[in-house]
Amino acid sequence: MTATTRAGADTVAELIRRRWGDHRTGLRDEHHTLSHHRAAAAAAARAALLVDLMPPRPGGEPHLGLLLDNTPEYPLWLGAAALAGAAVAGINPTRRGAELARDITHTACRVLVTQRAHLPLLDGLPLPGVRLLVTDTEAYRDLLAPYADARPGDAALGPVGPGTRYLLTFTSGSTGAPKAALRSQGAVASAGAALARAFATGPDDTHYVCMPMFHGNAVIADWAPALAAGAGIALRARFSASRFLSDVRRFDATYFTYVGRAVQYLLATPPGPHDRDHRLRLGFGTEAGAVDAARFRERFGVPLVEGYGSSEGGASVQRTPDTPPGAIGRAAHGDDLAVVDPGTLRECPPARFSPAGRLLNADEAIGELVNRGGTGTFEGYWRNPGAEEARRRGGWYWTGDLFYRDASGFLYFAGRTDDRLRVDSENLAAAMIEAILARWDRAAGVAVYAVPDPVAGDQVMAAVALHPGAAFDPAAFAAFLAAQPDLGTKMPPRFVRVAPALPLTATNKIHRVALRRASFLCDDPVWWRPGPGAPYEPLTEPARAALRAEYARHGRDPGGHPGG
């Protein structure tokens, strides 16, 4: 790789302007190829159009929504917004009806850029004052034609600087309506430059963008560092495990970003003799797990670097060469990160491990990761002061994520705060149990989550998707659990749902809310232990009825809606 040769830029707009006159290949997908120069020109044309479409008016925010797959139009409009001084709201195409309308109107989008494939999603939605642009139409091409000679910097809605609002990125929305996190041009440019330096990305590289661009993973961790380094960008409209290797070969890709479930999909594809025939050097992402990361490197010859960064930008953990297995890394420069008990506000004691690597003091060591140095680069939420205050309470930034820290200061991810389980008065983290269950050679994917105990607290449930041709053998699964030296006595799942596939969010993360909602009342086969240490057996309809009666006697609800 060639190191970045230019100093960092204060704005994304400046990064776009730097590509003017650069005639190397800059932006590709399976149907289009643009040089850096042509991509900058196309962004400038869209910026000029945007300025004409959004004249200043009282209460009119300079916001546009992008309801697009990963087509070249997406990064071109990201560039256009940067040049024009507008902000982009990435709109999730898996949302429907009132929820989709709410995302567009909540972020005050005056222009919505979409494609014909997504038009049915908008049928009948109340979107007052929203101008619709459909990219793959003759009318759209005619609209852009008068701006063909625009140059970067020709048109802007006002002064563009580091503090100019740039991204409104929706969080997952696992509890209530999704929140739109704000990111400025300066924050995005800085994040891109930092990653480009960390991974020595340069003009000879190509970043493969296969995660959805409405999410921060693709924009901040893949597109922005490529832009900062002058690297090429290659797009896949939607993630495809079967096309991954052919894409990285075709595009000569060297870098990509991922989430854990995407890695599991890639590992589930049939192995071949040419799995290492590519230039791919690095994958950067989150939640792959040590087992899958090792399998990925062994098969494809590509290391996966696990990172952690709060979606909102308030905390970051960086991996160093001495990071031990299973750890994420240490606090990034300038962050004062601590693992805190939310009830007492005291720092949790360091983790203690058995010789086999089992966490011995999970109940006291696991807490919420906070940035005590302030709110870091967290720039707030769009029109959600309550959620913003919750993040900033006490002058700290609260990530909403569970971690534990070893005696040397290395941080280990333990799940989300709403993924904590309370079993027999002991706190457990779903992510830790998942990492152990992922070792089972029959499992293609695993998710662990809490279901209510009939009396108090939680019980452990796991959803397991098996490799093709594999069957769930209850005795083999129990023997596997018994052989895991770091599986605590409270960790084995009481309920095991055998699913054809795990439910996913639009960003290819496991949809835990749907799993918790379905509980053990789902349509998939469920195996359970009637008592502690008992053999696993099928959860029959009479057994389900008896369980529901037990919950009712104690005034508790097991949750569950058939079909998940």
Q: What angle do CA 109, 111, 117 make, to 5 degrees?
A: 105
Q: At residue 418, does pLDDT exceed 80?
A: no
Q: What angle do CA 559, 560, 564 make, to 5 degrees?
A: 140
- CA 215 to CA 222: how far, in whole Å? 11
Report the CATH fold assignment for 430-553. GMP Synthetase; Chain A, domain 3 (3.30.300)
| Residues 477/484, Cβ–Cβ less than 8 Å | no
Q: What average pLDDT does range 95-101 have in this prediction?
A: 88
Which contacts (CB < 8 Å, 24+ apart) does range 384-389 have? 384/179, 384/180, 387/179
Beta-sheet pairing, 255-259 with 206-209: parallel
Report percent pLDDT > 70 for the chain: 96
Question: pLDDT, tens digit, for every residue of 354-402?
Answer: 887 888 888 899 899 999 988 768 999 999 999 999 999 999 999 988 8
Residue type, 226: A
- CA 172 to CA 180: how far, in whole Å? 10
Q: Which of 166-175, 285-294, 454-463 has the lowest mean pLDDT?
A: 166-175
Reduced to 3 states (helix: H, G, I; strand: E, B; else coil), residue 224 is helix
Which residue(s) pair with 459 in the sheet?
451
Q: How far is CA 13 from CA 29, 186, 197, in A?
A: 23, 10, 19
Please give the model's pTM, rounded to 2 decimal places: 0.81
Residue 487 confidence class, pLDDT cut points 50, 70, 90: confident
Please give the pLDDT value at position 3: 39
Please give the pLDDT value at position 176: 53
Cα dihedral angle (379, 385, 387, 389), rounded to 10 degrees?
80
Question: pLDDT, tens digit, for every residue of 245-298?
Answer: 999 999 999 999 998 878 988 998 999 999 999 999 999 998 787 788 899 999
Q: What average pLDDT does range 470-489 have in this prediction?
A: 92
Q: Which among 511, 513, 491, 492 has a CA at the least distance from the CA of 502? A: 511
Q: Hey, what are 20's tokens?
A: 């003017």
Question: pLDDT, tens digit, for every residue of 20-57?
Answer: 999 999 999 999 999 999 999 999 999 999 999 999 88
Residue 102 confidence class, pLDDT cut points 50, 70, 90: very high
332 Rama class: left (phi>0) / alpha (psi -120 to 50) / beta: beta
What is the three-state SS of 466-514?
ECCCCCCCHHHHHHHHHCCCCCCCCCCCCEEEEECCCCECCCCCECHHH
444 Rama class: left (phi>0) / alpha (psi -120 to 50) / beta: alpha
Q: How far is CA 426 from CA 421, 431, 444, in A?
A: 8, 15, 29
Q: At residue 175, does pLDDT exceed 80?
A: no
Q: What average pLDDT does range 479-491 have in this prediction?
A: 88
- CA 400 to CA 397: how far, in whole Å? 9
Please give the pLDDT value at position 358: 82
Q: Which of 152-166, 321-335, 340-354, 452-466 has the lowest mean pLDDT?
A: 321-335
Please give the pLDDT value at position 256: 98
- CA 561 to CA 558: how far, in whole Å? 10
Q: How many Cβ atoms are within 10 Å of 246's Cβ, its own excluded?
A: 12
Q: What is the mean pLDDT of the chain?
A: 91
Q: Which among 196, 279, 239 has a CA at the least distance from the CA of 2? A: 196
Please give the pLDDT value at position 564: 37
Question: pLDDT, tens digit, for every residue of 183-232?
Answer: 999 999 999 999 999 999 999 999 999 999 998 889 999 999 999 999 99
Q: At residue 173, does pLDDT exceed 70?
A: no
- CA 442 to CA 438: how far, in whole Å? 9
Question: pLDDT, tens digit, for every residue of 143-160?
Answer: 999 999 999 999 999 999
Reduced to 3 states (helix: H, G, I; strand: E, B; else coil), residue 371 is strand
Report percent pLDDT > 90 for the chain: 70
Residue 562 confidence class, pLDDT cut points 50, 70, 90: very low
| Residues 86/78, Cβ–Cβ less than 8 Å | no
**Taking the domains of the chain in order of start, what are their residue ranges?**
13-186, 308-418, 430-553
Q: At residue 1, does pLDDT exceed 50?
A: no
Q: What average pLDDT does range 478-491 have in this prediction?
A: 89
The phi, psi pair for 428, rounded to 5°, reads -125, 155
| Residues 150/171, Cβ–Cβ less than 8 Å | no
Please give the pLDDT value at position 346: 96
Residues 6+ apart with CB under 8 A from 503: 510, 511, 514, 515, 564
Residue 560 confidence class, pLDDT cut points 50, 70, 90: low
Q: Hey, what are 561's tokens?
A: 């809606």
Q: What average pLDDT does range 425-443 have in this prediction?
A: 86
Please give the pLDDT value at position 236: 98
Please give the pLDDT value at position 139: 98
Most confident of 132-141, 169-178, 284-293, 478-487: 132-141
Q: Hey, what are 398's tokens?
A: 């609260």
Query: For domain 308-418, which architecture applies?
Result: Roll (2.30)
Q: At residue 325, does pLDDT exceed 80?
A: yes
Residue 501 confidence class, pLDDT cut points 50, 70, 90: very high
Report the CATH fold assignment for 13-186. Rossmann fold (3.40.50)
- CA 116 to CA 138: how far, in whole Å? 12
Higher pLDDT, 348 or 288: 348
Please give the pLDDT value at position 5: 37
Residues 6+ apart with CB under 8 A from 404: 339, 348, 351, 359, 362, 365, 366, 367, 411, 412, 414
Question: pLDDT, tens digit, for every residue of 200-214?
Answer: 999 999 999 999 999
Please give the pLDDT value at position 561: 44
Most confident of 95-104, 373-382, 473-482: 473-482
